[in-house]
């Protein structure tokens, strides 16, 4: 299965003829919107710096203890035989701490897992940013189609008003019926204006994802294209490789590494010393050798070890609960998608054709004088409601699919094969 489910619905970029902006609205595809988000999202911009910090931590973890130079001068500036520097003893030594218990290796291991955690966090943030942009894209696409729906509804009401006025001129219709038709027309026009303004707001919300004013008029897409839904076992298998669960694995590895490092730090290090000693009184020079190691009568990290062991168990439990919760959510979203697909197909294939049939039959009967105006208006409203319900059902399908992709950690993309003319009409 491809990395994205929505990729099969809404990413085929529409080919456009060269035309001036006045003749054709400026379009943006989801691919372009996602690219802009990746380039300018505020959260994503911080991760290169955090990755560099993690690399610096790895460099720091690899540093070995530096040797120490020690110079001491004894038996000077005293009295009697030790007056001045006659009996001075000068010692020059070099000492080196030797780390035991593979402390350096444990530090490097911990730093590497912390660096991987930063990459996991980036992947989660990237998927969230792409999903958020896609959400705004789908919302704007929905309001674009609602604009077309509102425009069609106003046109039908205007036709109805013209027919009613003609019948009124012939004396076959009351003034109250004309007022009722005008009322519906005005309501439709107000609704159309509200939808147009909401679409404008959604344009700015989408462009805000890359911190810029919208330089596009419409988004390219087609909500009516519903992709096939993978089998539930395939989705659950994808979930096991999702960024969310991988992050828990990185956290578990960090906890294991911290525990091993703490155990290594509980082992005392050895310090070796070598140097020369000069006795001025005897005019003698000799070597100085030394070895020191703390006596760990009690473990200095006993409390830390217990706390880290508890943290390790807690992470394992959290991972188990997260896996169970995400699995249940995937199953719930999958079932919702099945229902929404059936609902959308029922509206498109059963309800909408029947509403159109009723509207056409009512219009014909009204023109023949066999139906009253109120019944015709009711049929018009039934058709408008069926068209509205279809758009909303398609929107819910795509948003639920988007949430499913978010859970499984798949990249989120949208495609379109809608002709330019359809998009122009959608934004009238």
* Sign of the dihedral defined by the CA atoms of residues 34, 35, 36, 40, in that order: positive
Within-domain flag for 2: no
Q: Does the residue 368 lie in any domain?
A: yes
Convert the pLDDT of each residue in 234-283 to its tens digit: 889 888 888 888 899 899 999 999 899 888 988 888 999 999 988 877 78
**The predicted structure's pLDDT at residue 10:** 42
Q: Domain span at residue 179?
A: 7-64+101-266+303-426
pLDDT in tens, 299-326: 888 888 899 899 989 999 998 999 999 9
Same domain for 75 and 224: no
Note whether 392 and 318 are same-domain residues. yes
Identify the CATH number of the domain in which residue 204 sits: 1.20.1600.10
Same domain, yes or no: 173 and 243? yes
Same domain (yes/no): 195, 317 = yes
Query: 90 and 213 in one domain?
Result: no
Q: Which residue do the tokens 């991987």 mark?
A: 116
pLDDT score at 410: 66
- Minimal CA–CA distance to 334: which of 239, 194, 207, 201? 239
Ramachandran angles phi, psi of 26, nearest 5°: -80, 125
In the predicted structure, residue 228 carries a pLDDT above the cut 90 = no
Distance CA 65, CA 6 (A): 54
103-115 pLDDT, tens digit each: 899 999 999 999 9
- The pLDDT of residue 389 is above 70: yes
Model confidence over 168-215: pLDDT tens digits?
Answer: 776 666 777 788 889 999 999 999 999 999 999 999 999 999 999 999
């Amino acid at each position: 299965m491809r990395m994205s489910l929505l990729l099969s619905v809404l990413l085929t970029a529409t080919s456009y003829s060269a035309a001036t902006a006045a003749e054709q609205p400026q379009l943006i595809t989801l691919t372009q919107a996602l690219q802009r988000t990746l380039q300018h999202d505020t959260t994503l911009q911080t991760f290169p710096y955090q990755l560099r910090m993690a690399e610096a931590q790895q460099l720091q973890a690899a540093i070995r203890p530096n040797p120490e130079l020690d110079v001491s001068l004894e038996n000077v500036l005293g009295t009697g035989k030790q007056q001045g520097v006659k009996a001075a003893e000068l010692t020059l030594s070099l000492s080196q701490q030797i780390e035991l218990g593979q402390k350096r290796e444990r530090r490097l291991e911990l730093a590497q897992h912390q660096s991987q955690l930063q990459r996991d966090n980036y992947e989660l943030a990237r998927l969230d940013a792409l999903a958020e942009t896609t959400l705004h894209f789908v919302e704007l696409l929905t309001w674009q189609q609602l604009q077309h729906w509102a425009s069609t509804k106003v046109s039908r009401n205007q036709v109805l008003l013209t027919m009613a006025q003609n019948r009124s001129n012939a004396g076959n219709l009351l003034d109250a019926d004309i007022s009722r038709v005008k009322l519906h027309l005005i309501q439709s026009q107000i609704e159309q204006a509200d939808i147009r303004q909401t679409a404008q707001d959604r344009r700015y919300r989408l462009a805000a994802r890359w911190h810029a004013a919208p330089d596009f008029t419409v988004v390219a897409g087609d909500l009516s294209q519903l992709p096939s839904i993978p089998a539930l076992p395939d989705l659950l298998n994808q979930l096991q490789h999702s960024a969310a669960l991988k992050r828990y694995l990185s956290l578990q590895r960090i906890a294991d590494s911290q525990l091993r490092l703490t155990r290594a730090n509980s082992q005392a290090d050895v310090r070796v010393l070598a140097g020369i000693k000069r006795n001025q009184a005897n005019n003698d020079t000799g070597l100085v050798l030394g070895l020191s190691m703390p006596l760990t009568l009690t473990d200095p990290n006993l409390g830390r070890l217990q706390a880290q062991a508890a943290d390790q168990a807690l992470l394992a439990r959290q991972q188990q609960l997260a896996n169970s919760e995400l699995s249940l959510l995937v199953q719930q979203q999958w079932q919702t998608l099945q229902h929404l697909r059936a609902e959308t197909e029922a509206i498109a294939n059963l309800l909408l054709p029947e509403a159109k049939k009723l509207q056409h039959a009512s219009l014909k009967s009204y023109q023949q004088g066999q139906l009253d105006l109120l019944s015709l208006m009711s049929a018009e409203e039934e058709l408008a409601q069926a068209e509205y319900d279809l758009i909303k059902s398609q929107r819910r399908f795509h948003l639920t699919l988007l949430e499913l992709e978010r859970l499984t950690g798949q990249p989120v993309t949208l495609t379109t094969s809608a002709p330019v003319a359809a998009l122009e009409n959608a934004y009238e």
